[in-house]
Amino acid sequence: MTNRKPKLAIVLGIRPDVIRASLFLNLIRADPRVEVTFIWSGQHYSDNLKDVFFRELGVKPPEIELDARGSNDAEVSSSIIARLYPVLERLRPDAALFLGDTNTVISCLAAAQLNIPIIHFEGCMRSYDWRMPEEKYRGVIDHLADVIYTYYPEYKRQGVDEGINPRSIVVVTNPIVDVLQKYYFERKEFYDRLASDEFFASRGIERGNYYAMTCHRRENVHLKESFRTILDLVGAAPRKVYFPASYRTQKVLQEYGFHLPPNVVMVDPVGYHEFLVLMTRSAGVITDSGTVVEETAVLGIPSVQMRKATERPQTYDVKSSVKFDPTLPDRYPARTVFAKLEYLRGRKWKHGLGDGSASERIYRDVVERLLTDRVAMHRPRDYHLDIRRSYREDGIALRAPGGARQRSSGKPSARTASGGRR
């Protein structure tokens, strides 16, 4: 290893990426031993989906903006790949880090094409619901990644069962616990002040007497029937529903000509401070967001998960969440769903999602690996499989002019099967 500072590129692109990685970003960007370049793909770009989170979480804005755009997943992801490639080619980082399961994550292909080792933050999560684009992206990046930070041993088992090298997977617990500790629990008075009578009056809701809602998943809003059953569900809620709706959801709502039930107040997406107030002062949260079900479990607020399958079954384990499958409304009648939600209200559970040190763990491990040249994990010697046949010799023996045979065993040489850099 030379004295050169190792370089890390961090590639993010949507609202929850900033939230989830906020502490990690601040730790690693303050470390003088590594040179970090934070790249924003442009998948989310409006102030209320991007910049507000940098401001509220005290995260320095990205050094590079790719400004990728597109009107469907293929256009967005290919635009990010095409724009990221020349940036990585110029930067030549020692590793590129991606988070989660988004169109931005799929731009890890640009890093792979350039033989830049890939780090996956939030790896090995699986819902096994193949309707979700995210589910395919998870599999792709986990198989390309050299290092995977996963939250729980059960996630690591999933990855190993799929053939991923166990030595590439590091269990760290869930950083959302650290984030809420730092930005919510340690600043409770700030949120108490924000949650004024005026806050609720101006939004047309009463403190403690409404449900907060989010809904954006493709398999929920793009399937007309599922979206209709979701609207029927919230229309049957015994309280008002305050719904900061993603722009995609608003657009589909219009396209389908659906009308919101009268108890639903729909607004544009809001900043993190505001959403934390909305969650913590609600009677419960109705959502299809992965991050929100974790947050509510940690904040002690019950939730309804509008999902057929989840990659976060832990929230059911601790009984902080009620299931609603939008494709099977008869099996999950609104009356039962809301009776369960109300039953959970005020109950306590141990969320068990983390110990508040996940961001720090990821930061330390990434820096340690960069400093000791231990990021790349696809060198022949790293494989956990028997790869000798791929590296075997040809086994062809030629007769030397004197008649003696030159031997070529067909077995791999020690050098080719275990050494060599990629």
Residues 6+ apart with CB under 8 A from 287: 213, 214, 215, 293, 296, 303, 304, 305, 306
Where on the phi/psi map is residue 330: left (φ > 0), alpha (ψ -120 to 50), or beta?
A: alpha
What count of other Cβ atoms lies within 10 Å of the Cβ of residue 112? 19
**Residue with tokens 């110029």, as numbered in its chain:** 90
Q: Which of residues 229-248 bind ligand UDP (CB under 6 A)?
A: 244
Q: Is residue 291 near ligand UDP by the rule CB under 6 A?
A: yes
Q: Is residue 219 near ligand UDP by the rule CB under 6 A?
A: no
State the nearest-atom distance from the C-beta of 203 to ligand UDP, in Å: 12
Residue from 87, 194, 223, 270 in contact with ligand UDP (CB under 6 A): 270
Residue from 10, 13, 15, 107 in contact with ligand UDP (CB under 6 A): 15
Q: Is residue 295 near ligand UDP by the rule CB under 6 A?
A: yes
**Contact (Cβ atoms closer than 8 angstroms) between residue 62 and residue 39:** yes
**Contact (Cβ atoms closer than 8 angstroms) between residue 230 and residue 220:** yes
Using CB under 6 A as the binding criterion, the count of chain residues that bind ligand UDP stands at 15
From 28-36, 267-275, 359-367, 393-401, give the range in contact with ligand UDP by CB under 6 A. 267-275
Residue from 13, 62, 123, 269 in contact with ligand UDP (CB under 6 A): 269
N-term to C-term CA, the chain:
16
Nearer to ligand UDP, 107 or 214 (CB): 214
State the nearest-atom distance from the C-beta of 4 to ligand UDP, in Å: 36
Residue from 37, 43, 79, 214 in contact with ligand UDP (CB under 6 A): 214
Q: CA distances (Å), 333 to each of 223, 230, 237, 327, in order?
A: 19, 11, 11, 12
Where on the phi/psi map is residue 317: left (φ > 0), alpha (ψ -120 to 50), or beta?
A: alpha
Q: Is residue 19 near ligand UDP by the rule CB under 6 A?
A: yes
Residue from 137, 275, 324, 332 in contact with ligand UDP (CB under 6 A): 275
CA–CA distance, 331 with 305 (Å, rounded to integer): 14
State the nearest-atom distance from the C-beta of 23 to ligand UDP, in Å: 13
Q: Is residue 11 near ligand UDP by the rule CB under 6 A?
A: no
Q: Is residue 98 near ligand UDP by the rule CB under 6 A?
A: no
Beta strands in 41-83, from DSSP E residues, in sequence order: 64-65
Residues that bind ligand UDP (CB under 6 A): 15-16, 19, 214, 216, 244, 269-270, 272, 275, 289-292, 295
